[in-house]
Amino acid sequence: MAIPPSPESGRGPRVYGWLNERLGLTTIYNSTLARMVPKTDWFYTLGSAAMILALLQGVTGMLLTIYYVPTPDHAYDSIQYIMNDVMFGWLIRGMHHWGATLLVIVVFLHMLKSYFAGAYKYPREITWLTGGVLLLVVLVMGFSGYLLPWNQKAYWATSVGTAIAGAVPVIGPLLERILRGGQEIGAVTLARFYGLHIWWIPIIVLGTIGVHLYLVIRIGITSPPERDE
Amino acid sequence: MTEQMSANPEEVDRRKFLTGIIGVVAGAVAVVVGVPTVGYLVSPGVKQANAEKWITLGPINSLTPGVPTGFPFSRSIHDGWVESSQTGVAYALTYDGQNVLVLSDVCTHLSCRVTWHEDRQEYVCPCHDGFFDIAGKVVSGPPPKPLNPFQSKVENGQIMILLEA
């Protein structure tokens, strides 16, 4: 945690003072970590929990790309390699696997709390809307990631999931073929789900979290509702 | 919230204590996550594959005495999750038809492949003009060491070399 600069001599404070003058570290600290918040309860930690989990998914996901190969002939074997041959591979993949489930749960609970606390009201509508986008995007993340192990469960879950898109009136069959990148689930499907999973969605997530957090800091969080006299 | 500031700056107040706890927990998390991460990233590079194998190159009576002959060889290896093969060329040389010198064709400079040039009686590395004589000793160019000899033997008229790792 940053410490406000003091006029004392010594190298630490001098280095901090030099950086602070140029970067405005104290201003950042005061407006983020040291900002005033209303008296809250444990439900107000769900947002931070979701952010930490998202961060963890990012880091473990980046580590998995070191070995994972998104092609039908290598996907399954490369994951077996991660699980059995790479040191702590089971741990990194396990964290990504369970972290994904936990993230969906925590984001959903965070949404429930915001709803029951009335946090979607003026002036926090955009915080609420970006949160809604983040919930949907996390679900897309879960769906696209589910195919990547390329085992039976992955294959058939994606078969069912894309077939649901096919039930849309009129454009359904076209939508299904676009999702799959063809008639069947195969190499093209795996590659596009991977690209979606590691590039497109994460960048959308980063941007949306940026707006969401900016608004949390700019407007502040809402007080828990109180009973009127 | 009323907070009582302690008069004595040495005294650990509530805020300082909690900040310290957060620091300790964050540090512990960093170690718990950081150590496996390093192991995860480096493990394929530091794992020792203790596989030694004798490979048959070919019959010794196919050699012309005094002329190095290149024998292509290959063997199957585990390349991560892929079963693949490793190929190479070993140069065998005999003078008496019984004792054999087998040299690796891997240049000792930066691992390009050398070839035997009968006309100039030298092994030539095309990458940076490295030249080795018939015994593998450096004649000129950047290579720091002679060509590496394989541990070799002749069994039932067949030249065999020992491949490590």
Radius of gyration of chain A (CA): 22
Q: Are residues B1 and B38 in the same domain?
A: yes
Q: Are residues B36 and B82 in the same domain?
A: no
Mean pLDDT (chain B) is 88
pTM over cut 0.90 = no
- Among B13, B31, B47, the domain boundary falls at B47
Q: Are residues B38 and B68 in the same domain?
A: no
Per-residue pLDDT at B3: 46
Tell me where in chain A the CATH 1.20.810.10 domain(s) lie: 41-219
Q: Are residues B102 and B60 in the same domain?
A: yes
CB–CB contact A66 B39 (8 Å)? no
CA distances from A198 to A127, A133, A141, B137 (A): 25, 18, 9, 52
CB–CB contact B37 A66 (8 Å)? no
**Ramachandran assignment for A118, one of left (phi > 0), alpha (psi -120 to 50 degrees), beta (any other):** left
Interface check B36 vs A, CB under 8 A: yes
Q: Are residues B31 and B68 in the same domain?
A: no
Q: Are residues B93 and B158 in the same domain?
A: yes
Q: Are residues B66 and B42 in the same domain?
A: no
Q: Which residue of A has its CA nearest to B26?
A: A1
Q: Are residues B43 and B95 in the same domain?
A: no
Q: What's the CATH architecture for A41-219?
A: Up-down Bundle (1.20)
DSSP 8-state class, residue B71: E
Q: Are residues B123 and B76 in the same domain?
A: yes
Q: How does pLDDT run along chain A (229 residues), one tens digit per residue?
A: 555 555 555 778 899 999 999 999 999 999 998 888 888 889 999 999 999 999 999 999 999 999 999 999 999 999 999 999 999 999 999 999 999 999 999 999 999 999 999 999 999 999 999 999 999 999 999 999 999 999 999 999 999 999 999 999 999 999 999 999 999 999 999 999 999 999 999 999 999 999 999 999 999 888 888 887 6
CATH code for the domain in which residue B144 is found = 2.102.10.10
ipTM for the assembly: 0.83
Q: Tokens 């092609």 label which residue?
A: A71
Q: Are residues B80 and B33 in the same domain?
A: no
- Please tell me the total count of domains within chain B: 2
Q: Are residues B76 and B33 in the same domain?
A: no
Which positions in chain A touch B23 (Cβ < 8 Å)?
Answer: 1
Indicate the residue of A39, A63, A80 with minimum beta-carbon distance to B37. A63
Indicate the residue of A1, A80, A87 with minimum beta-carbon distance to B39. A87
Per-residue pLDDT at B164: 77
Which positions in chain A touch B41 (Cβ < 8 Å)?
Answer: 63, 66
Going A133 to A137 to A140 to A142, the CA torsion angle's sign is: negative
**% pLDDT > 90, chain B:** 66
Q: Give CA–CA dist A66/A182, Å, rounded.
A: 28
Interface check B39 vs A, CB under 8 A: yes
Domain extent at residue B20: 1-47
Indicate the residue of A59, A66, A78 with minimum beta-carbon distance to B81. A78
